[in-house]
């Protein structure tokens, strides 16, 4: 009897094991019929293709319009130009510059910031930006939570890499300015540091909180409410401590920098990229190249603050004075950077400009001398390389993320078409059609 019972148990286990070894049925695929495909911006487009998407990735790219298998979804983009999802390497998802911005700093709760961030991220996504880099948030834990929710698939949004709070010296660009002393004492961020050891601590705090990348404010900024200018604010040894600590912990480091001295100090300190770079000259560009660093130009931010300064009502007097000086310099600077062969990566500083208007940056890059193909490459291939994600995003190829966008017409001829994105897919999920 006991023998019979054991035989029955083993037989059941054998059946269960056999069932466990049976491969699961493949998940449903999406077949996308593409009229014109720019699989790698900067290379020649192809025509009449089928992209097969499964489990969030591109499974295959086939010639012709392949009929979908039973159970597959068909997306008809035969009349569209399809290209990789776009990458904006400089945004601020939790805020948007307005006449109420300073009041918002002291009245908005973390829950308000979370909802603002969700709305702003979805605006960026529907504009075609399937990956964004948040480079400084007052509610830095909020932006990390938003990033994680999108990554889990619970909410639909762009892929986010986030710096958390920007590292700043006391009185620097990312410190609190212009409020009563008792208010500023409460608002002062933990990311303010002074001296080498303290700056190492500040970097470690952001990495501990969840930062993907470290941002430091090497110089003053246009929107800090102070007339202290745009020159270097950290000492050289502090900048080196920040970059070295970031690298020690496996993170890249980027520096907000406008003035020539601050840009060059950050590059010498080992920062991987510079945001803005307004006063860079030929000597600065040579240093970029020798350090293998990239420039994130944020032309749209310069244009936006110039427009706001002229219109009045949004910027303080100190901010407006700097905006009118710096904004007009940036397009010319980028043209010279291109001629010098500097690595340039697309970034807008959205949050200064309106979220969802990110693609205006392409037109400003073309105004600076870039071809449409070069501008698009900076927001795809270049952005992916800058973020160390070339194996996942930046081009459309089998095995890569199914992040793609589509427009009617040819953006290689008319770059303004990038403001009219009609279809967006992120991680195989349709976000706009």
Report the C-alpha gap between 63 and 57 in whole angstroms. Answer: 18
Average pLDDT across the chain, whole number: 90
How confident is the model at residue 104, as a pLDDT? 64
Q: Where are the domains of the chain?
A: 30-85+397-432, 86-387
pLDDT digits (tens, 9 = 90+) for 344-395: 999 999 999 999 999 999 999 999 999 999 999 999 999 999 999 999 999 9
pLDDT in tens, the chain (433 residues): 444 443 443 344 344 444 445 666 678 999 999 999 999 999 999 999 999 999 999 999 999 999 999 999 999 999 999 999 999 999 999 988 777 666 666 667 888 889 999 999 999 999 999 999 999 977 678 999 999 999 999 999 999 999 999 999 987 666 554 544 555 444 456 789 999 999 999 999 999 999 999 999 999 888 776 666 789 999 999 999 999 999 999 999 999 999 999 999 999 999 999 999 999 999 999 999 999 999 999 999 999 999 989 999 888 888 888 889 888 899 999 999 999 999 999 999 999 999 999 999 999 999 999 999 999 999 999 999 999 999 999 999 999 999 999 999 999 999 999 999 999 999 999 999 9
Q: Which fold has domain 86-387?
A: TIM Barrel (3.20.20)
Q: Dihedrals φ, ψ of 4, to 5°?
A: -65, -40
Least Cα distance to 45 among 363, 396, 432 occurs for 396
Report the chain's terminal Cα–Cα distance, integer Å. Answer: 66
- What is the number of alpha carbons within 13 Å of residue 300 lying toward its C-beta? 23
30-85+397-432 under CATH 1.10.357.10, yes or no? no
Contact 28, 12 (CB under 8 A): no
pLDDT of residue 180: 45
Q: What is the reported pLDDT for 173? A: 67
**For the segment 121-157, what is each residue's pLDDT rounded down to a tens digit?**
999 999 999 999 999 977 678 999 999 999 999 999 9
Q: Is the dihedral of CA 57, 60, 63, 66 positive or negative?
A: negative
């Amino acid at each position: 009897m006991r023998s019979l019972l054991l035989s029955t148990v083993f037989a059941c286990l054998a059946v269960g094991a056999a069932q466990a070894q049976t491969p699961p049925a493949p998940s449903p695929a999406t077949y996308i019929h593409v009229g014109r495909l720019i699989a790698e911006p900067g290379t020649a487009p192809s025509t009449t293709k089928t992209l097969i998407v499964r489990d969030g990735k591109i499974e295959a790219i086939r010639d012709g319009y392949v009929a979908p298998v039973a159970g597959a979804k068909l997306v008809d983009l035969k009349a569209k130009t399809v290209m990789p999802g776009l990458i904006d390497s400089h945004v601020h998802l939790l805020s948007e510059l307005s006449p109420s911005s300073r009041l918002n700093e002291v009245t908005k709760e973390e829950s308000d910031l979370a909802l603002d961030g969700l709305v702003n991220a979805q605006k960026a996504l529907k504009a075609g930006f399937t990956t964004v880099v948040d480079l400084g948030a007052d509610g830095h834990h909020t932006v990390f939570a938003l990033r994680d929710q999108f990554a889990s698939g619970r909410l639909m949004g762009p892929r986010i890499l986030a710096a958390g709070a920007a590292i700043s010296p006391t009185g620097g660009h990312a410190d609190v300015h212009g409020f009563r002393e008792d208010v500023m004492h409460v608002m002062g961020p933990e990311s303010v540091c002074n001296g080498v050891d303290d700056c190492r601590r500040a970097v470690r705090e952001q990495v501990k909180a969840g930062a993907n990348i470290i941002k430091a404010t090497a110089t003053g900024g246009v929107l800090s409410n102070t007339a202290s200018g745009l020159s270097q604010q950290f000492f050289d040894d502090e900048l080196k401590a920040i970059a070295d600590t970031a690298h020690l912990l496996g993170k890249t480091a980027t520096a907000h920098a406008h003035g020539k001295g601050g840009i060059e100090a950050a590059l010498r300190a080992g920062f991987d990229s510079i945001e803005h770079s307004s006063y860079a000259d030929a000597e600065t560009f040579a240093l970029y190249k020798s350090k293998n660093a990239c420039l994130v130009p944020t032309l749209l931010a310069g244009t936006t603050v110039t427009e706001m300064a002229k219109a009045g009502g949004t910027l303080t007097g100190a901010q407006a004075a700097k905006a009118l000086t710096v904004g007009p310099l940036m397009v010319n600077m980028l043209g010279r950077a291109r001629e010098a062969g500097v690595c340039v990566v697309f970034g807008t500083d959205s949050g200064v400009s309106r979220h969802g208007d990110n693609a205006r940056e392409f037109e400003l890059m073309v105004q600076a001398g870039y071809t449409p193909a070069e501008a698009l490459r900076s927001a795809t291939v270049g952005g992916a390389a800058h973020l160390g994600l070339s194996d996942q995003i930046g081009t459309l190829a089998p095995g890569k993320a199914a992040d793609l966008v589509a427009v009617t017409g040819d953006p290689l001829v008319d770059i303004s078409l990038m403001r009219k994105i009609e279809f967006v897919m992120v991680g195989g999920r349709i976000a706009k059609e």
